[in-house]
Structure 1
Amino acid sequence: MGTQQIRRWESGALAHAVTDPFGQGPLPWLRGSENYFDSGRVVPWYVDPVLARDGAPVPLPRSCAGPRTADDVHRQIKGFAATGAVAPGEAIDFRITVDPPQQFSIDVYRIGHYAATGAAKITTSPRLSGIVQPAPLTADRTVSCHHWWLSWRLQIPEYWNVGAYVAVLTTEDGYRSHVPFTVRDDRPADLLLLLPDVTWQAYNLYPEDGRTGASLYHAWDEEGALLGEEDAAVTVSFDRPFAGAGLPLHVGHAYDFIRWAERYGYDLAYADARDLHAGRVDPSRYRGLVFPGHDEYWSVPMRQAAERARDSGTSLVFLSANTMYWQVELSPSPSGPDSLLTCRKRQGPGRPALWRELGRPEQELMGIQYAGRVPEPAPLVVRNGDHWLWEATGAHEGDELAGLVAGEADRYFPRTSLPEHTSRVLLAHSPYRDGEGVRRHQETSLYRAPSGALVFASGTFAWSPALDRPGHIDERIQRATANLLDRICKRD
């Protein structure tokens, strides 16, 4: 990067070469609620405080009464949940800093379809007294806020639905931030949705302050310039807010799938990747495990759990690309188990961190594996168009589904071993140009394991956004996904 300085509010998108619609994505899931007024116009709360007027972005004035997004320099309001996933009847603790000290409130929303609004408000905290918490602790680029005082304990009622939740933090003077969390249980269901909280944390650059923040990708030098992987953190902590608005970089992928799946009534249970790691997931309770978003970082117990699921007849559905690329370790911290994420990548001596370099390529589980970035979206080209996955989609052999190969792509590697299977098919073969202009290709894979389990891998970042992201919906992908899930859930 040299000495080029990246503005903190852009660094996440620019550093990872991921921009909308395949990074965090827009947040239309609270349309029509929590509005405020700007010059007589009603503006949804999730709109950033820069509005386009006559084609030019104009910041809202500080006197505006509406919410403004907190940042990591001034830390107007930032927070995190000490535990990512909780069950009904348990409590979740929020640790929040407010500067300057003032009252604040927390609105809790559940992500879902909800007649196209995308979320529903479930509860609101009482007025809470905000304090300026101590500065984050740093050691060898690991940033932790585990020493922050407890701000609010939310007891999850027994009657709450499992699902993906977002706590919206708002100060009295109108700054806001977010804290995602999951409510899970162990009841049997057709499908278990696994939210990729491990990968979310790997990308978290909090605090994006030009000084102390670090992720597994980046850190800052003394002049505020963004450094690359060779100088990034080796260990990151879950005990800290997410950078910027408080939502993970790739959170939109999961929310896109959730809105679509709940709209069509799929029987979903919810858990986090750390639940899979810790053995809190019993695959035998589900017909399929769904990995809805960018899920790049996997521990050994996570992979073993997925392999056991497949081998016992539970199907696996991977709806993104670059899945299970890095092998990681989770370890305890003063705040609890599995609170530290370590991945040395290529820093210093020691064993490699790529699954494929450790002799266990990801293709042996998924049927395809990561091939590279896709700088400009390209069409997904249908292959084996007479397969049941494409039935009633309107897609035929050789059809091009515009923009459906994007972000990153997977493909079949002929020299890499395949998993055991009784049948196997590639359902897309799509050419694209990489960052150097070299012609490459993406593939979508489906195989049936000897246990009868189906294992599907979309091989592209664009699959989940095509399900329910405004401006990117593709009815053919919606139908194909329904064909897959219906077969897994025995609806056919």
Structure 2
Amino acid sequence: MTGINGYPASPSIRAGRSIRLHIATSADRFRLDFYRWGSALKHTGHVEWPGQDAVPGLHDEDWQWPAYDFLVPRDWRSGVYIGVLSTGVCPSQPVMDAREARFLLVVTPAVPSGRKVLYKIPVFTYHAYNTAGGGSLYSASRVTLRRPGGGVGGPVKGLPDPYDTSSPRQTFAHWDAPFISWMEENGIQSDYCTDLDLDEGRLLGDGYRLLASSGHDEYWTAQTRRNVTAFRDTGGNIANFGANTCWWRVRPDEDRSALECGKFPPDAPAGTDPDSSYGCPDHWWESEPENTLLGVSYRNGGGHWDGPRPPLGYTVTDADHWVFSGTGLKTGGTFGQDNALVGYECDGAAYEIDGQRSPQPTGQDGTPKNFKILGIAPLPSDWNFAAREPMPSPRAATLGLYRATGTVFTAATTDWSRLLATDPQVAAITHNVITRLA
């Protein structure tokens, strides 16, 4: 079979505008089909073009593959679109996740849509784990966005997830796709963006009430964080149904085609684990703790499991809170344990137990003092932990929220979306948070 692969020049495009696609194949002609991901897979169109071949590049350089301009129809609804490349007849229902012949494109609205939810696709994180060209941000300090991969269509660093072997971790299919399917199946109307859109200051001023994300949104630029913080401070709400969020700081280059990240302390020996090290240039927590925005940090949680982990769920600390409405949960009860809800990575806030035997944030790590811990999962001693400042607080995943003009909610575990379709309590909490904050 003739090989084919490709990538967009930019991970997102406004409906009605032209996007440059870069595609390489030795076939004389090829076909590109677009599918929008949602409650059901929707075929939205196709094009056919003459093929041009090219050789792969390196992980840190623009591959400069043959270019094709595609005009995104103005009536395409905002969403995540998978480009399926083929050199023969495209199957009627092709598999969306693959390590080649696929690319991800986020379409943003042509004009403000009036929808109240904006969902963030973490393209920076997907490219950090993308190993196309022989490297990733786990082996190099710079990667290009202009290569196959970045959510779908490229090789990925990491081992399979024993709790969901249908797709690799660090892919769109693994983290975001289940959450988006659940939202749209449940009638939650959302527009979509990438972290590059937020870095450039787009969309957050278009009337959205809630910025939502899920899974593994690990890599943030300083400008993305400033813009999201400003959104909160002007009354915008944030719901983070994931973990290990805003752990590493990245910097885009001038044309927004590559990312840089300084992970290792000066003179670090080979084999150093940056998560467990101090003095890392781009650890957010060492310079500006992510807790001040999100309420939690990976350094008070942990994880990074390659195989099975101790099954943990959340113990409810205040069942009367609106977050738990309709769940049937009681204070002191647990949820999610049977399906290992907590992990593969989780976030937490430094806390202490008050006179009513309830966990309260200490604020020592930057967590707002009004952060309300609604669910807690103390972590066993054999959990994998990251570096943190010395503090007496135990480590625990902490589900909760706080208010600072806007409200910020965190589920504090990467695997939240994995349970949405099968755990009615996880689904009810998610529905409560989105409908209330939107």
TM range (shorter): 0.7 to 0.9
Change (3 A) 1:369 1:283: farther
Change (3 A) 1:434 1:464: farther
Separation in structure 1 between the aligned mates of residue 228 and residue 383 of structure 2, nearest angstrom: 35
Separation in structure 2 between the aligned mates of residue 448 and residue 457 of structure 1, nearest angstrom: 12
Deviation at 1:467? 2.0
Deviation at 1:107? 1.2
Is the CA contact 2:103–2:148 (under 8 Å) kept in the aligned structure 1?
Answer: yes
Look up the match of 1:378.
311
Deviation at 1:168? 0.8
Is the CA contact 2:119–2:190 (under 8 Å) kept in the aligned structure 1?
Answer: yes
Match of 2:374 among 414, 427, 433: 427
Change (3 A) 1:374 1:241: closer
Deviation at 1:95? 1.0
Deviation at 1:171? 2.2
Q: 1:395 is aligned with what amino acid?
A: L
Q: 1:366-397 CA deviation, whole Å, 9 max, x = no partner? A: 11110211531523123222221111112223
Deviation at 1:196? 0.6
Separation in structure 1 between the aligned mates of residue 176 and residue 384 of structure 2, nearest angstrom: 30
Match of 1:483 among 424, 429, 432: 432
Look up the match of 1:157.
73
Match of 2:103 among 179, 183, 192: 179
Separation in structure 2 between the aligned mates of residue 107 and residue 377 of structure 1, nearest angstrom: 42
SS of 1:239's partner is coil
Q: 2:295 is aligned with what amino acid?
A: G
Q: 2:411 is aligned with what amino acid?
A: S
Counterpart mapping for 1:306-455 below 5 A? 306-332=228-254, 337-346=255-264, 348=266, 352-358=281-287, 360-370=288-298, 371-373=301-303, 375=305, 376=309, 378-383=311-316, 384-396=318-330, 397-401=332-336, 402=338, 403-413=340-350, 414=362, 415-419=364-368, 421=370, 424-433=371-380, 440-449=395-404, 451=405, 453-455=406-408
Deviation at 1:263? 1.5
Separation in structure 1 between the aligned mates of residue 206 and residue 44 of structure 2, nearest angstrom: 31
Look up the match of 1:92.
19
Is the CA contact 2:215–2:416 (under 8 Å) kept in the aligned structure 1?
Answer: no
CA-based RMSD: 2.5
Query: Is the counterpart of residue 81 in structure 1 residue 8 in structure 2?
Result: yes
Separation in structure 1 between the aligned mates of residue 384 and residue 256 of structure 2, nearest angstrom: 41
Q: Across the two proteins, how many residue pairs are aligned to each other?
A: 373
Deviation at 1:243? 7.7
Deviation at 1:444? 0.8
Change (3 A) 1:299 1:434: farther
Is the CA contact 2:123–2:150 (under 8 Å) kept in the aligned structure 1?
Answer: no
Deviation at 1:426? 1.0
Deviates more, 1:170-179 or 1:426-435: 170-179
Q: 1:89 is aligned with what amino acid?
A: G
Query: Is the counterpart of residue 267 in structure 1 residue 189 in structure 2?
Result: yes
Look up the match of 1:112.
38
Deviation at 1:435? 5.1
Separation in structure 2 between the aligned mates of residue 404 and residue 353 of structure 1, nearest angstrom: 29
SS of 2:119's partner is strand
Deviation at 1:173? 8.6
Look up the match of 2:179.
257
Q: Which runs of 5+ in 2 are unaligned?
A: 91-97, 157-169, 268-278, 351-361, 386-393
Q: Which runs of 5+ in 1 are unaligned?
A: 1-61, 63-74, 208-212, 218-231
Which has more strand, going by share of residues?
1
Is the CA contact 1:378–1:432 (under 8 Å) kept in the aligned structure 2?
Answer: no
Match of 1:133 among 44, 49, 54: 54
Separation in structure 2 between the aligned mates of residue 203 and residue 124 of structure 1, nearest angstrom: 29
Separation in structure 2 between the aligned mates of residue 437 and residue 298 of structure 1, nearest angstrom: 23
SS of 1:382's partner is strand
Q: 1:233-269 CA deviation, whole Å, 9 max, x = no partner? A: 1111101001896067331321111111111222311
Is the CA contact 1:374–1:435 (under 8 Å) kept in the aligned structure 2?
Answer: no
Q: 2:320 is aligned with what amino acid?
A: D
Q: 1:342-380 CA deviation, whole Å, 9 max, x = no partner? A: 00111647971111111x111111111102115315231
Change (3 A) 1:387 1:326: same
Look up the match of 1:55.
none
Change (3 A) 1:437 1:297: closer
Is the CA contact 1:284–1:309 (under 8 Å) kept in the aligned structure 2?
Answer: no
Separation in structure 2 between the aligned mates of residue 317 and residue 204 of structure 1, nearest angstrom: 26
Change (3 A) 1:245 1:294: closer
Separation in structure 1 between the aligned mates of residue 144 and residue 51 of structure 2, nearest angstrom: 23
Match of 1:189 among 112, 115, 127: 115
Separation in structure 2 between the aligned mates of residue 250 and residue 264 of structure 1, nearest angstrom: 23
Query: Is the counterpart of residue 465 in structure 1 residue 421 in structure 2?
Result: no
Counterpart mapping for 1:38-57 below 5 A? none
Is the CA contact 2:302–2:383 (under 8 Å) kept in the aligned structure 1?
Answer: no
Separation in structure 2 between the aligned mates of residue 171 and residue 244 of structure 1, nearest angstrom: 22
Deviation at 1:170? 1.6
Change (3 A) 1:330 1:289: same
Q: 1:85 is aligned with what amino acid?
A: S
Q: 1:119-145 CA deviation, whole Å, 9 max, x = no partner? A: 11111212x332321341x4xx62431
Change (3 A) 1:283 1:316: farther
Is the CA contact 1:257–1:292 (under 8 Å) kept in the aligned structure 2?
Answer: yes
Is the CA contact 1:293–1:319 (under 8 Å) kept in the aligned structure 2?
Answer: yes
Change (3 A) 1:89 1:345: same
Is the CA contact 2:126–2:150 (under 8 Å) kept in the aligned structure 1?
Answer: no
Change (3 A) 1:245 1:324: closer
Change (3 A) 1:245 1:445: closer
Change (3 A) 1:204 1:488: same
Separation in structure 2 between the aligned mates of residue 244 and residue 91 of structure 1, nearest angstrom: 21
Separation in structure 2 between the aligned mates of residue 85 and residue 171 of structure 1, nearest angstrom: 25
Query: Is the counterpart of residue 285 in structure 1 residue 207 in structure 2?
Result: yes
